């Protein structure tokens, strides 16, 4: 198979049969545009795509599948309320009965070592299981080219290894794999070739095995990647945040219950909570910040005060600040101006500054506006106009604003979920540095992140969240990637151990 | 005809329009569209059915007109909510207000005019069975339609590829679009199916239930049908149970008065509405059940990213 | 490929401020245009009909008074509804809250007809507000406590309220000296909301409506409560992050809108009808939904929109008299208007692209 390929940004590249080809690039480098064109969701305005030497027009995803292109999305395109077999049936061109699809799916899942139950409802499955459904769904169509968009970002290191076994088996059958990632290490170890995109153009094409992670990173970012500056910090013995046997029942069938979580975060330190998506991160965040109230008041303490039964604003008034994972619709509202987004999180903690008129609770626009400008300047938020709508900011700039909004209060405790999710490298670096600076100034910082590299980069101690259980924190300087990876897979956790013994 | 048979027959008559309208709305909602305009589409079906039956002298022309006008009227809703992505709740209300207005204007000439009755079709032999024979096999064509619809909708949703596609669109329109399914086409068809059913239910009101035109004659039945879909947690078979339960409540007033109880008629007339509220409360209390069964993209407009 | 003409939407990065202002006018223009077609269809001269409908009522003093009488309840109800709709609470039962306000407010003059002092009117208004609030609190509590859909419960309660009014007027509250007409006794002296000017029937309900508009405008644009309402409606999750309790917001907006609808109800009964009848509303509670949307959920916009919808009621009456057109035309107009308002609002959030088939240049093989 041979693919020659010119996209709207003059992209030329080719994928050979039987190779694992990495597509590297930062957020916004044009990876997803390229992939969408290959999968028929977008049409190139000029240029051509050839498969096996024949020029093709990929007008729709259905056409792409007919041409032998399969795609595993980063954010899965599965239907939660439907069964595995029904999900697979939907993507097949022919009208085959669901039971026949189930039979075939079982056959493929066995052949490629991807265990699956065709009757299961997607909503009940873990992230790793869902990915297997996506892959089996593609394989059923015998694709010549399989595209995987950041497949390992939701897997433990061990699960990722298993995925690569499957990919190598596919490769040996002569299929091509386009592997999109920003994890340089795995690209170096597992991929045959790499194409690097920046600003929508091909920057380089290389054999990743002959490159170092640093040289690949330089090609991706275009300049030497600045590491965050971790000057020494003094961790004090004052406990700022204490979780004491924090438990929370699951609210919906898709959420994870928290069980007996213990943790102390001291002034001046950053504690990282690693874990794969869907192991209770949002639930833990909600319990700490008070969006969900606990049954026992001593399950969460901030600055020595028992706050388990207090709402989010009472906790903020004790000096805590919170940054949720989702920017749009949680940490900020896209249809609101920046100043209103400022008010959103700080109307209670800064009621003296932002409100006037006593019981009337009038909004003091001038003060909010000046705080908005101050934050934008401090965090280098690029925006059009003085007070634009949040929707007009890029993800990275909005996240910088949200982080800056909380830092502006000089909180004694900052709890942040996924600080640099979906932002460009520059903004991510800036945000991480801000967290480190906050800790250096004597505040306690708790970071929940699915990005293990990020956790390793900034944390003093690292705990792992698995299925609603939190491990004992490890010292970041002595903990190895493998240890953490095992914990992320549930091996060696309180519950995991019990299962092992049994 | 005995008393019990008479009671059961009136229950069937009261339940049939609810069953048909609710089944149609169920299909619409399964595709992720919440059409609150059932009342408006029903009343359009009622007036169109009445007018066309009267003009042609043939009640079957009325039935077809009811279905056609219901579907046509729902097309308006589909254009706004699917193509222009307007707020579905507000647009549904608009459809109801407009439907009540147009039908009132159109029907003015028909007030007090005797209509054409859709006569029952007796199925030989089967209709001779004691008690249930007359009840189930000596009915009009719309009743038979309601039963066919019940099985048809069940089979369509859970046994056919198209039904699977429709459920997929209702569950996650973004993923459906990514698979190359035309979300807007599925939704247009689902809305129009709902409209056709509502129109049929309306035609039943003016051709069978009462063979005359009365303004606002659907009297909230469209809204009760909407509540039935929630009651049934989007399962066709449970719609059947709900419709007949409500049919029974609805006709209770007639029989309670006939039995000589001295309860003000207004209180009895309020029973179906109160029952709807009570049922909604009981069903919604079990949030888990509601969350699992509600089509996930219900009420949300879809604009593809290019 | 067959050439296809299709409409496609493209989301705007930020709301179009141009269309925010212009879209209600586009909707009005289109309604008037289609209205002309409708009149032609009914065999009337469109120009003359539109004049009778929309202009003539504005040319005489008495009809301006009538306009204010009809606009006042629409304003009161729609302002309340705008709070509900902004916060994502679909209260569509204002008609029932209006009726129950009228019933509760009439309790004093009907049950205690001899109690005639300057205190009666304020007490009647308070009873009206409480009656509307109580009726509106039912769907709010059922939503908060059990998650019952407020659209359906609030609407079902409209039918119940109407039947209740019908029963009480024909039954216990019927005027003993009323020759068996289904009416309550007429209100007298202190029980009547007085007229404001000597020139016509407009009563103080109009003034109350103006004050409510101003208060609501201040609340929505200047206070934290108004901010809370928008946040909860725009993004419930962000509302929880901001520490706003969505259940309290739901109860608040239902109580305010129910209270305002109840106030409108008793003001209508006490000021305009001056007795209780089996039906006290020409559908104000539903028309107010249209008013709220046409006014873009903004109190000042609602003020203007209410006048337009009130005009459609008056025009309907005028057209019935002078053109022999059914007054049902009014509800057709109102329904069309809401449709066009919603359709035109699409322009605020989206760009509309009409796509024609594009010739694809086939690259050399």
DSSP for A297-359 reads: GGGEEETTEE-TTS-HHHHHHTTEEEE-S-TBTTTB-TTSBHHHHHHHHHTTTTHHHHEESGG
Segment B75-100, tens digit of pLDDT: 999 999 999 999 999 999 999 999 99
Provide the β-strand partners of residue A413: A320, A444
Per CB-CB distance under 8 Å, the chain C contacts of A330 are: 235, 237-238, 241
Give the DSSP letter string of C103-121: HHHHHHHHH-TT--STTHH
Q: What six digits make up the tokens of C21?
A: 């202002």
Distance CA B224, CA B91 (A): 18
Distance CA B276, CA A334 (A): 38
Any idea what the CATH number is for the domain that residue B222 is in?
Answer: 1.10.3470
Nearest to A258 by CA among A245, A239, A272: A245
Query: What is the domain range of residue C97?
Result: 70-352
Sequence-separated (6 or more) residues with CB below 8 Å from residue A474: A461, A462, A463, A483, A484
B192 found inside a domain:
yes
Distance CA C176, CA C168 (A): 13
Q: What six digits make up the tokens of C346?
A: 């699409």
For the segment C293-317, the average pLDDT, to the nearest whole number, is 92
- Which range scores top for mean pLDDT: A174-178, B59-63, B136-140? B59-63
Percent of chain C exceeding pLDDT 70 equals 95
pLDDT over 60 (residue C321): yes
Per CB-CB distance under 8 Å, the chain C contacts of B100 are: 331, 335
The model's confidence at residue C346, banded by pLDDT at 50, 70 and 90, is confident
* pLDDT computed for residue C308 by the predictor: 92
B298 found inside a domain:
no
Segment B2-20, tens digit of pLDDT: 778 888 888 999 999 999 9
The model's confidence at residue B252, banded by pLDDT at 50, 70 and 90, is confident
B84 found inside a domain:
yes
Choose, out of B29, B75, B84, B294, the residue to mutate when testing the contact with C (most C CBs < 10 Å).
B84
* pLDDT computed for residue C233 by the predictor: 93
- Chain A: residue nearest B175 by CA? A77
**Among partner residues C15, C227, C241, which is closest to A330 by beta-carbon distance?**
C241
Sequence-separated (6 or more) residues with CB below 8 Å from residue B189: none
The tally of domains found in chain B comes to 1
Segment B183-204, tens digit of pLDDT: 999 999 999 999 999 999 999 9
For the segment C246-255, the average pLDDT, to the nearest whole number, is 96
* Residue pairs between chains B and C whose CB atoms are closer than 8 Å: 138
Segment C134-168, tens digit of pLDDT: 999 999 999 999 989 999 999 999 999 999 999 99
For the segment A366-395, the average pLDDT, to the nearest whole number, is 90
Nearest to B199 by CA among B16, B17, B34, B53: B17
Where is pLDDT greater, at A401 or A476? A401
Is the Cβ pair B93, C338 closer than 8 Å? yes
B299 found inside a domain:
no
Segment A81-119, tens digit of pLDDT: 899 999 999 988 777 888 899 999 999 888 888 888 999
Taking CA atoms, A1 is separated from A67, A137, A143, A164, B217, in Å, by: 12, 22, 12, 21, 68
pLDDT over 60 (residue C364): no
Q: Quick one: how many helices (H) and strands (E) in chain A? A: 18, 21
**Among partner residues A61, A86, A252, which is closest to B178 by beta-carbon distance?**
A61
Is the Cβ pair A79, B174 closer than 8 Å? no
Side-chain half-sphere CA neighbours of A52 within 13 A: 6
pLDDT over 60 (residue A33): yes
Nearest to A144 by CA among A176, A112, A120, A173: A176
Strand, helix or coil for residue C176 = coil
Q: What six digits make up the tokens of A182?
A: 């920003």
pLDDT over 90 (residue B162): yes
ipTM: 0.88
Q: Out of B168-172, B248-252, C69-73, pick the least confident.
A: B248-252
**Among partner residues C10, C342, C350, which is closest to B80 by beta-carbon distance?**
C342
Choose, out of C11, C16, C243, the residue to mutate when testing the contact with A (most A CBs < 10 Å).
C243
Where is pLDDT greater, at A166 or A252? A166
For the segment B165-190, the average pLDDT, to the nearest whole number, is 92
For the segment C109-114, the average pLDDT, to the nearest whole number, is 88
For the segment A139-166, the average pLDDT, to the nearest whole number, is 84
* pLDDT computed for residue A310 by the predictor: 93
B185 found inside a domain:
yes
The region, left, alpha or beta by phi > 0 then psi within -120 to 50, assigned to residue A451 is beta
Beta-carbon neighbour count of residue A67 at 10 Å? 19
Domains, in order of start, for chain A:
20-221 (3.40.50.300), 239-501 (3.40.50.300)
The Cα angle at residue A66 between residues A64 and A68, in degrees rounded to 5: 75
The region, left, alpha or beta by phi > 0 then psi within -120 to 50, assigned to residue B292 is alpha
* pLDDT computed for residue A4 by the predictor: 39
Q: What six digits make up the tokens of A354?
A: 């932002």
Distance of CA C301 to the CA centre of its chain: 12
The model's confidence at residue A228, banded by pLDDT at 50, 70 and 90, is low
For the segment B139-146, the average pLDDT, to the nearest whole number, is 92
C-beta separation of C260 from C96 below 8 A = no
C57 found inside a domain:
no
Interface of B with A in 137-166 (CB under 8 A): 161, 164-165
Choose, out of A90, A98, A141, A249, the residue to mutate when testing the contact with B (most B CBs < 10 Å).
A90
* pLDDT computed for residue C361 by the predictor: 36
Q: Out of A84-93, A224-233, C96-105, pick the least confident.
A: A224-233
C-beta separation of A484 from A256 below 8 A = no
Is the Cβ pair C242, A48 closer than 8 Å? no
pLDDT over 90 (residue B127): no
Mean pLDDT of chain C: 89
pLDDT over 90 (residue A443): yes
Segment A422-435, tens digit of pLDDT: 787 778 888 999 99
* pLDDT computed for residue A71 by the predictor: 87
* pLDDT computed for residue C176 by the predictor: 83
The model's confidence at residue C309, banded by pLDDT at 50, 70 and 90, is very high
C-beta separation of A383 from A397 below 8 A = yes
Query: What is the domain range of residue B223?
Result: 3-293
The model's confidence at residue A232, banded by pLDDT at 50, 70 and 90, is low
Distance CA A330, CA A231 (A): 33
pLDDT over 60 (residue C33): yes
**Alpha helices, DSSP H, located in C52-147:** 61-86, 94-111, 120-146
Strands (E), A124-168: 145-149
Q: Out of A339-353, B67-81, B282-296, pick the least confident.
A: B282-296
Choose, out of C5, C139, C147, C350, the residue to mutate when testing the contact with B (most B CBs < 10 Å).
C147
* pLDDT computed for residue A249 by the predictor: 86
Per CB-CB distance under 8 Å, the chain C contacts of B266 are: 163-164, 166-167
Per CB-CB distance under 8 Å, the chain C contacts of A55 are: 363, 365
Give the DSSP letter string of C324-343: ---THHHHHHHHHHHHHHHH
Percent of chain C exceeding pLDDT 90 equals 58
Segment B20-69, tens digit of pLDDT: 999 999 999 999 999 999 999 999 999 999 999 999 999 999 999 999 99
- Which range scores top for mean pLDDT: A142-156, B196-210, C109-123? B196-210
DSSP 8-state assignment for residue C270:
I
**Among partner residues C149, C156, C338, which is closest to B230 by beta-carbon distance?**
C149
Any idea what the CATH number is for the domain that residue C145 is in?
Answer: 1.10.3470.10
For the segment A242-253, the average pLDDT, to the nearest whole number, is 85
Distance CA C225, CA C244 (A): 10
Side-chain half-sphere CA neighbours of A393 within 13 A: 32
Mean pLDDT of chain B: 90
* pLDDT computed for residue C360 by the predictor: 40
Taking CA atoms, A86 is separated from A70, A238, B176, B187, in Å, by: 18, 54, 13, 20
C216 found inside a domain:
yes
The model's confidence at residue A495, banded by pLDDT at 50, 70 and 90, is low
Distance CA B208, CA A29 (A): 66
Side-chain half-sphere CA neighbours of C248 within 13 A: 7
Whether the pTM exceeds 0.90: the reply is: no
DSSP 8-state assignment for residue B36:
T
* pLDDT computed for residue A394 by the predictor: 82
Mean pLDDT of chain A: 85
The tally of domains found in chain C comes to 1
Q: Would you call A85 exposed, middle or buried from its count of C-beta atoms within 10 A (0-12, 13-18, 19+)?
A: buried
* pLDDT computed for residue C4 by the predictor: 54
* pLDDT computed for residue A27 by the predictor: 64
């Amino acid at each position: 198979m041979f693919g020659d390929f010119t996209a709207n940004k003059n992209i030329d590249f080719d994928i050979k049969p039987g190779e694992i080809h990495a597509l590297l690039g930062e957020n916004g480098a044009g990876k997803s545009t390229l992939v969408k064109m290959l999968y028929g969701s977008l049409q190139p305005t000029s240029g051509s795509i050839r498969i096996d030497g024949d020029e093709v027009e990929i007008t729709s995803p259905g056409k792409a599948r007919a041409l032998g292109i399969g795609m595993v999305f980063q954010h899965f395109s599965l239907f939660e309320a439907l069964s595995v077999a029904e999900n697979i049936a939907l993507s097949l061109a022919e009208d085959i009965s669901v039971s026949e699809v189930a039979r075939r799916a079982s056959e493929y899942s066995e052949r490629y070592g991807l265990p699956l139950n065709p009757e299961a409802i997607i909503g009940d499955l873990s992230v790793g299981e869902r990915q297997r459904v996506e892959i089996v769904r593609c394989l059923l169509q015998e694709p010549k080219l399989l595209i995987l968009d950041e497949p390992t970002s939701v897997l433990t290191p061990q699960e990722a290894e298993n995925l690569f076994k499957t990919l190598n088996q596919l490769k040996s059958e002569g299929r091509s794999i386009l592997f999109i990632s920003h994890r340089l290490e795995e690209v170096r170890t597992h991929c045959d070739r790499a194409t690097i995109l920046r600003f929508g153009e091909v920057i380089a094409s290389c054999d990743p095995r002959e490159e170092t992670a640093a040289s690949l990173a330089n090609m991706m970012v275009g300049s030497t990647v600045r590491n965050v500056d971790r000057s020494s910090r003094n961790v004090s013995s004052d406990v700022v945040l204490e979780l004491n046997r924090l438990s929370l029942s699951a609210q919906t069938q898709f959420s994870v219950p928290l069980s007996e979580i213990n943790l102390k975060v001291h002034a001046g330190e950053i504690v990282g909570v690693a874990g794969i998506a869907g192991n209770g991160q949002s639930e833990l965040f909600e319990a700490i910040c008070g969006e969900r109230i606990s049954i026992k008041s001593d399950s969460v303490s901030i600055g020595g005060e028992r706050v388990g039964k207090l709402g989010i604003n009472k906790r903020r008034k004790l000096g805590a600040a919170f940054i949720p994972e989702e920017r749009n619709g949680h940490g900020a509202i896209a249809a609101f101006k920046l100043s209103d987004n400022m008010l959103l999180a700080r109307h209670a903690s800064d009621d003296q500054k932002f409100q006037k008129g006593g019981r009337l609770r009038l909004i003091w626009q001038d003060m909010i506006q000046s705080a908005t400008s101050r934050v934008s300047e401090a965090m280098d938020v690029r925006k059009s106009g003085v007070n634009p709508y949040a929707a007009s900011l890029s993800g990275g700039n909005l996240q910088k604003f949200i982080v800056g909004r909380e830092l502006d209060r000089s909180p004694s405790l900052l709890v942040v979920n996924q600080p640099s999710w979906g932002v460009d490298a520059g903004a991510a670096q800036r945000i991480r540095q801000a967290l480190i600076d906050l800790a250096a100034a004597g505040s306690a910082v708790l970071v929940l992140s699915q990005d293990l590299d990020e956790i390793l980069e900034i944390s003093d101690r690292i705990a792992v969240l698995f299925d609603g259980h939190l491990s004992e924190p490890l010292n970041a300087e002595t903990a190895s990637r493998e240890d953490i990876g095992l914990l992320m897979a549930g091996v060696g956790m309180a519950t995991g151990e019990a299962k092992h013994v049994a | 005809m005995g008393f019990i048979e008479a009671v059961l027959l009136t229950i069937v008559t009261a339940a049939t329009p609810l069953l048909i309208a609710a089944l149609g709305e169920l299909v619409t909602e399964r595709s992720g569209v919440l059409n609150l305009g059932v009342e408006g589409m029903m009343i359009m079906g009622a007036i169109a059915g009445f007018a066309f039956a009267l003009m042609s002298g043939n009640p079957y022309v009325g039935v077809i007109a009811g279905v056609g006008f219901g579907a046509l009227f729902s097309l308006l809703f589909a254009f706004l909510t699917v193509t222009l992505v307007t707020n579905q709740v507000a647009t549904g209300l608009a459809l109801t207000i407009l439907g009540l207005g147009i039908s009132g204007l159109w029907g003015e000439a028909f007030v007090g005019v005797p209509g054409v009755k859709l006569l029952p079709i007796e199925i030989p032999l089967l209709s001779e069975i004691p008690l249930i024979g007359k009840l189930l096999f000596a009915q009009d064509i719309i009743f038979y339609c309601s039963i066919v619809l019940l099985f048809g909708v069940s089979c369509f949703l859970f046994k056919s590829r198209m039904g699977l596609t429709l459920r997929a669109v209702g569950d996650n329109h973004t993923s459906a679009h990514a698979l190359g399914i035309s979300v807007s086409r599925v939704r247009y068809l689902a809305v129009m199916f709902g409209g056709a059913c509502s129109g049929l239910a309306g035609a039943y009101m003016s051709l069978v239930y009462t063979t005359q035109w009365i303004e606002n004659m659907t009297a909230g039945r469209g809204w009760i049908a909407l509540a039935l879909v929630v009651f049934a947690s989007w399962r066709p078979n449970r719609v059947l149970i709900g419709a007949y339960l409500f049919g029974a409540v609805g006709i209770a007033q007639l029989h309670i008065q006939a039995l000589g109880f001295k309860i003000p008629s207004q209180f009895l007339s309020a029973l179906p509405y109160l029952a709807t509220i009570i049922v909604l409360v009981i069903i919604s209390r079990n949030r888990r059940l509601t969350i699992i069964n509600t089509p996930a993209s219900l009420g949300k407009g879809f604009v593809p990213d290019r | 490929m067959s050439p296809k003409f299709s409409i496609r939407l493209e989301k705007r990065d930020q709301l179009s401020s141009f269309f925010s202002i212009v879209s209600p006018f586009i909707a009005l223009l289109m309604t008037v245009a289609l209205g002309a077609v409708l009149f032609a269809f009914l065999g009337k001269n469109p120009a003359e009909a539109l004049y009778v409908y929309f202009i003539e009522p504005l040319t005489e003093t008495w009809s301006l008074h009538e306009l204010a009488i009809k606009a006042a309840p629409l304003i009161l109800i729609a302002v309340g509804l705008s709070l509900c709709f902004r916060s994502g609470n679909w209260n569509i039962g204002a008609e029932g809250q209006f009726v129950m306000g009228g019933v509760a407010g009439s309790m004093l003059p009907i049950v205690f007809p001899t109690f005639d002092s300057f205190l009666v009117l304020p007490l009647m208004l308070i009873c009206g507000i409480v009656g509307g609030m109580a009726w509106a609190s039912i769907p709010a509590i059922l939503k908060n406590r059990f998650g019952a859909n407020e659209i359906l419960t609030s609407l079902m309660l409209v039918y119940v309220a109407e039947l209740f009014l019908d029963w009480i007027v024909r039954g216990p509250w019927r005027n003993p000296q009323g020759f068996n007409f289904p009416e309550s006794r007429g209100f007298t002296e202190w029980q009547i909301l007085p007229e404001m000017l000597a020139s016509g029937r407009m009563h103080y309900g109009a003034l109350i409506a103006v004050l409510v508009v101003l208060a609501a405008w201040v609340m929505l644009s200047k206070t934290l409560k108004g901010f809370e309402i928008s946040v909860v409606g725009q993004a419930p999750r962000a509302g929880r992050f901001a520490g706003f309790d969505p259940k309290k917001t739901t109860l608040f907006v239902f109580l305010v809108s129910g209270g305002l609808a109840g106030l409108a109800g008793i003001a209508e009964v006490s000021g305009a009808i001056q007795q209780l009848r089996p039906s006290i509303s020409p559908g104000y509670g539903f028309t107010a939904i249209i008013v709220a949307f046409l006014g873009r959920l903004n109190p000042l916009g609602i003020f203007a929109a209410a006048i337009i919808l009130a005009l459609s009621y008056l025009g309907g009456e005028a057209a019935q008299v002078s053109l022999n057109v059914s007054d049902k035309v009014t509800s057709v107009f109102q329904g069309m208007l809401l449709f066009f308002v919603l359709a035109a609002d699409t322009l605020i959030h989206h760009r509309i692209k009409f796509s024609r088939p594009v010739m694809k240049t086939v690259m050399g093989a």
